[in-house]
Structure 1
Amino acid sequence: MIGAAKALILAGLSIRRICAPRKRMRTKLNYVWKLRLNLLADSRRMASNKVLTASSINPNVLTMQYAVRGPIVIRANELEKELKKGDHKTFSTVIKANIGDAHAMGQRPITFIRQVLACVSDPSLMSTDGPFSFPADVVDHAKAILDDCGGGSTGAYSNSTGVDIIRKHVAEYISKRDGGIPCDPEDVILSGGASESIRNVLKLFINRDSSKKTGIMIPIPQYPLYSASIEEFNLGQVGYFLDEEAGWGLNEAELERSLKEAKYDVKAIVIINPGNPTGQVLSRENIEVIVRFAQKHNLFVLADEVYQDNVYAAGSAFHSFKKVASEMGAPFNKIELASFHSVSKGYMGECGMRGGYVEFLNLDPEVYVQFKKMISAKLCSTVLGQVVIDTVVNPPKPGEPSYDLWKRERDDVLASLKQRATLVREAYGAIEGITCNPVQGAMYAFPRIHLPPKAVQKAESLGQKPDFYYAMRLLEEAGICIVPGSGFGQRDGTYHFRTTILPQPALFKEMLDRFSKFHKKFMAEFK
C-alpha cells in the first residue's frame, strides 16, 4: 500500500475519502492514514532543503487534472498488485475499461505493421539467406523507408518534421481520402502520437503579455488531454455542450452561447470527430455549421480526427474538416485548420508506438516557420512510430503478397469493434437506472447513471463527486475500472462514466456480468 499512499498524497487525496467505508478495510485504512500523516510530516521537514516544492513549482501543474489516469486508475493498479500477492477479493482480475488501449485489452497486432517494423529495426532479417522469410512487398516497403533514413538506419535522427518519404505518403493518403483534394507534404508534420501535435499547436496560443488569457473552445464532454493541456499552458477553457438528447450532436446556438459568455479572448475551437468520450459521428451538416461558425468569428480549428477509421453505425460516415471546408468554397476554405491522426486507434491500436501527424491548412507562413523551429528543440519523434504511420497510410495494395492477410485482419478488427459497439449500448441500456446513446464510432460509450438522491448525498458527505463515488465502489467491489464523467465534463446534475468497447468478447461478457450485479446491488442500497 505504500506506493499507492505516496501517489495519492501527491494527488492531494485522502485514502479515507476514496476507498469505500467497509468494516473489513478499517484496519488497513487506519494503517494507511497513519502512514500518510507520517509521510506528510517528513515531507514538510524536508521541504526547506528542496529547490522545487509543491509551493514553488509551476502552479498550473498542480491544478491540471488528467482523469483517464487519475486516482481511480492508481487504485486499480494497487488492486492488481494485491491480487498478485494472493489477497482475497470478490474478483480475480481487474478489468481496465478506462483507456483506449486495444493491445492491452487483447487485440492482436496487424501482421504487416509488425513485419515492416521488424525489417526496419533489423535489416538483416530481409536477407534471403536468413532464417525468416518476409513477403516481397514488406521488404520493398522497409527498404524504401530505410533509403530515406540517415545512414540507412531507423536509429538515426530524422528531420524534425519527419522522414520525407513518410510525409509524402501521408500527403498521398490524405488526398485520396478526401477525393483528390491536393495535400502538400510540406504541410504535414509527423509526431509522437496525435497528442504531441495537439499540445504543440496549443502552445502557439500562449501569450503571457496579453491582459486576457487566450480562450480555447472545447466540447463538453471532452477528452481530458485538452482540459489538462489548457490548464498547464495557462490558457482559458471555454466549454460548449454536446446535446445528449440528440445523440451528442451540437448546434450553432450552443456555440454562440459559449462564445458570448466566455471571459477569455477566444482564438480557437476544438472538435473531436468521431467523438471521445461520447462515440458520436458528426454529420456533414454539423461540420458545415462548425466551419461557418469558425469563419464568422475568425477562429482557428483543431480537428481531432484520430478515430476516422472507427465508424460503425448505419448511415454514419467520416467527413474530414479539410474536405468539407474545401468543398464549401470561399470564404470557408480559408479557415485556419490543424487536423490530427494517430496509429493508436483505428484498426491498428498501436498506442505504444507513438506515431501521429498533423496537417496544417492556411497557416500563416511565418507562424509555420516558428512552429518548425519550436519542434526542432525536441529533435524528432520516434522513427519507429513514423514507420507505423507509413504502414497505415501506405498499406498493401490489391495483388501484393500481404494484401489478403492485411485486409482480413483489418476487417476482422473493425467488425468486432462494430459488434461490441452495438452490444455495449444494448447491455447498458437494458439496465435499470442507466441510459446510453448509440455508439456510432470511436471506441467508447458514455452512459448516464441516474443515481438515487441518497447515493448523491452519501458521496457529498464524503467530499466526493457522485460519479467518482460510484466508480470507486465499482472498482473496489467488482474490479472494473472506468472513468467518472466528471473527468470529461458534463451538465450539472447529470452523472456519467466512460467505458471502452475494447475488451475481447469473453472478457467483455464477464465485465458486463460483473457490472450488472454491482449496479443492481448499489441501486438497491440507496433506493
Structure 2
Amino acid sequence: MPTTVAADNGRAEQETVKKGNVKTSPKMGKKTLTLDTMNPHIKVMEYAVRGPIVIRAGELEMELKKGAKKPYKEIIRANIGDCHATGQVPITYIRNVLTLCINPKLLDSPDFAPDVKEHAKRILSSTRGGLGSYTDSTGLDVVRQDVADFIKRRDGIAADPDNIILTAGASEGIKALLKLINNEKNGQKPGVMVPIPQYPLYSATIAEYGMEQIGYYLDEDNNWALDINELKRSIREARKVCHPSVIVIINPGNPTGQVLTEENIRGIIKFAHEEGLYIMADEVYQDNVYAPGSKFHSFKKVMTQMGAPYDGLELASFYSTSKGFMGECGIRGAYMELVNMDSQVMAMLKKMLSAKLCPTSVGQACIGCVVSPPKQGDPSYESFMSEKQAVLKSLAEKAKLVTDTFNSIPGIHCNTVQGAMYAFPRLDLPQGLIDKAKSVGQDPDFYYALQLLENTGICIVPGSGFGQKPGTHHFRTTILPPPKQMEEMMVRFKKFHTELMEDKLKNV
C-alpha cells in the first residue's frame, strides 16, 4: 500500500510544481530552499479533502458572484465536515460560556444563566491570567478533570487526568502520537495500519513523517465492517517492507459512516495483542450514531471488560469539539486519553508538547463545555438538550435521505449511513467516462467529481482521495447541508447521474 493517496494527477498547476517551474525576478537570485532541497516527504503528501476540486469550487463561486451564467445559482459544499459552514446553529450554552471566558466583564450581566457563569468561573480559575495567558502544555487542570469525569460517566471506568492531554483539534494529538512512535527498527520504517477507505489526515501524516502506510480494506459488502482475516493478510504482507507498530481505527467511520459492533472491536483488540500493536482509536464521531441497532462502544471500555491480558494494551483515544452535535471545527478543541503508556515515554511526549507551549485556550474551554454540559435541574439544561437533540435528529434524517436517494439512482450503491457525517457510495461508471478520464491523466472518480461540480455546482471528494479497492470508484459526501439544500443537492445529483448513464451529457 503506497504512503499517499492520489487526489489529482491532471491539473496543470500541479504539473508546474512537479517540474519545478518557479516565477523569479532578477533580484531573487539563487534559492537555498528549492523543490530539490526541501523535505521530500512534504512533496508526496496529499490531502484530498482540501484538494483541487475544492479549489475549483471556490473559483466557480467567484464566477457566480461576478454574474457568470451557470445551470445553478450556488455551490453546494459537501466536501468537508465543517458543520457551521453549512448552516448548523451553534449550541447556545457552549457559546455563552466561551463568551464569559473571553470577556469576564460580562460575568455581572443578567443576560447569562447562573450555571453558565459558574462554568466560566471554574475555567477561568484554572488559568494564570484568563484565556489570554498560556496554559500548561497538557491543558488546564480543571478541564482535564472534567474530561476524566466524562469518560467515567461514559464507560463506568475511572480515568486519570494525568493521562489526558488537551490538543488543538484531534488532528494535533494524532500527529503528535505518530511522531512519537516514528522510529526505525532493524533498518525498517515503522508501519501504520489504516483502514481503506481512510481519512486523508492519516495518509498525509504518514507520508510527511516518512513512515509506511499499511492499508487494510473494509468490507463494503458487509456495510464496511472490519474483517480480521483482512487485517492478518495486510500485516503479513507489510512485514516484508516495514515493522508494523500501530493500528488506526476510525469508529464511527470516516468516510464510510459505519459503526463497529462490540464483537468487531473485541476481534480488533485480540489482533492488536497478538501482533504487538499500539491501538489508536479515532472516536471523534461517537455522538453521531443514527441507524437503529447501531451503538457506539469505546475501545477503552471493551478492552477493560475483556480483562487480562487485553486490558494492559497501549491505547490512545481521541475526541473533538469539531464533530458530534457541537460542530465547533474552527475553535480547535479536543483531548486524547493515553491508556497504559510507559511513564518514561509519557514524560517524553509531554516534553515534546512543551515545545509548542500549549493548545489554544479557547479550544480547551470549548472541550470543557462539551464534556461537562448542564446537568438536569440546571437553568440551561432544557435548552441545551433541546438544541443537542435537534441537531442529531436532523443529521439522522439527512443520513436516511442520502442513503435512500443514492440507492434509488441506477449505477450508485450506498451502504446505510450508520453514523458520523458522511456517505461513501460506489459508482458504476460508463467505460467511455473511464477512458476519457484516463486520456486526460485523471482518476475516473476524480473526473466524475469534477464534471459533477461543473454541471451541478455540487462539491464532493473523489474516492481515490481516501483509498479504495482497485477497479472500484467512489466518492465521499457529507450529510451536513441544511435540509432544503440537501434535498436540492439530491435532485441535482440524481439528474446528473441519470443523464450521464444515459449518455445525454454531451459536454462530459
TM-score, with structure 2 as normaliser: 0.94
Question: What amino acid sits opposite 1:177 in the alignment?
Answer: R
Distance verdict in 2 for CA 1:41–1:322, change over 3 Å: closer
Counterpart in 2 of 1:74?
A: 55
Alignment counterpart, residue 469 of structure 1, candidates 432, 442, 447: 447
Counterpart in 2 of 1:189?
A: 165
1:39 deviates by 11
1:516 deviates by 1.1
Question: What amino acid sits opposite 2:164 in the alignment?
Answer: V
Counterpart in 2 of 1:3?
A: none
CA contact (8 A) 1:303 1:340 kept: yes
CA deviations 1:248-275 (Å, max 9, x no partner) are 0011110000000002110110000000
CA contact (8 A) 2:190 2:242 kept: yes
Question: What amino acid sits opposite 2:358 in the alignment?
Answer: C
Q: Distance in 2 between matches of 1:46 and 1:209?
A: 47
- Alignment partner of 1:158 is 2:124: no
Counterpart in 2 of 1:212?
A: 188
Counterpart in 2 of 1:401?
A: 379
1:524 deviates by 2.0
1:41 deviates by 6.4
Counterpart in 1 of 2:150?
A: 173
Alignment counterpart, residue 58 of structure 1, candidates 20, 27, 39: 39
Question: What amino acid sits opposite 1:156 in the alignment?
Answer: S
- Alignment partner of 1:120 is 2:96: no
Matches of residues 118-517 of structure 1 in structure 2 within 5 Å?
118-127=99-108, 130=109, 133-151=111-129, 153-179=130-156, 181-207=157-183, 211-262=187-238, 263-517=241-495
1:435 deviates by 0.4
Query: SS of 2:67's equivalent?
Result: coil
RMSD: 2.1
CA deviations 1:265-320 (Å, max 9, x no partner) are 10110000000000000000000000000001110000000000000011110000
Question: What amino acid sits opposite 2:208 in the alignment?
Answer: E
Q: Distance in 2 between matches of 1:415 and 1:37?
A: 46
CA contact (8 A) 1:190 1:381 kept: yes
Counterpart in 2 of 1:14?
A: 11
CA contact (8 A) 2:254 2:420 kept: yes
Decide which moves more: 372-381 or 510-519: 510-519
Question: What amino acid sits opposite 2:375 in the alignment?
Answer: K
Q: Distance in 2 between matches of 1:304 and 1:44?
A: 47
Q: Distance in 2 between matches of 1:437 and 1:43?
A: 51
Q: Which runs of 5+ in 2 are unaligned?
A: 1-7
1:40 deviates by 3.6
Decide which moves more: 82-91 or 118-127: 82-91
Number of positions where the alignment pairs a residue of Structure 1 with one of Structure 2 = 496
CA contact (8 A) 1:17 1:462 kept: no
Q: Distance in 2 between matches of 1:244 and 1:166?
A: 39
1:54 deviates by 1.5
Query: SS of 1:359's equivalent?
Result: strand
Q: Distance in 1 between matches of 2:45 and 2:14?
A: 20
Q: Distance in 2 between matches of 1:283 and 1:163?
A: 34
Q: Distance in 2 between matches of 1:92 and 1:230?
A: 39
Query: SS of 1:282's equivalent?
Result: coil
CA contact (8 A) 1:341 1:356 kept: yes
Alignment counterpart, residue 95 of structure 1, candidates 63, 76, 92: 76
Q: Which runs of 5+ in 1 are unaligned?
A: 1-10, 19-32
1:455 deviates by 1.2
1:207 deviates by 2.1
Distance verdict in 2 for CA 1:239–1:418, change over 3 Å: same
Identity %: 54
CA contact (8 A) 2:9 2:443 kept: no
Q: Distance in 2 between matches of 1:354 and 1:135?
A: 25
Decide which moves more: 49-58 or 139-148: 49-58
1:12 deviates by 7.7
Distance verdict in 2 for CA 1:335–1:484, change over 3 Å: same
CA contact (8 A) 1:17 1:464 kept: no
Question: What amino acid sits opposite 1:246 in the alignment?
Answer: N
Q: Distance in 1 between matches of 2:14 and 2:190?
A: 35
CA contact (8 A) 2:185 2:243 kept: no
Question: What amino acid sits opposite 2:489 in the alignment?
Answer: M
Q: Distance in 1 between matches of 2:338 and 2:27?
A: 48
Distance verdict in 2 for CA 1:47–1:222, change over 3 Å: farther
Counterpart in 2 of 1:519?
A: 497
1:14 deviates by 3.0
TM-score, with structure 1 as normaliser: 0.91
Question: What amino acid sits opposite 2:437 in the alignment?
Answer: A
1:380 deviates by 0.3
Question: What amino acid sits opposite 1:56 in the alignment?
Answer: T
Counterpart in 2 of 1:22?
A: none
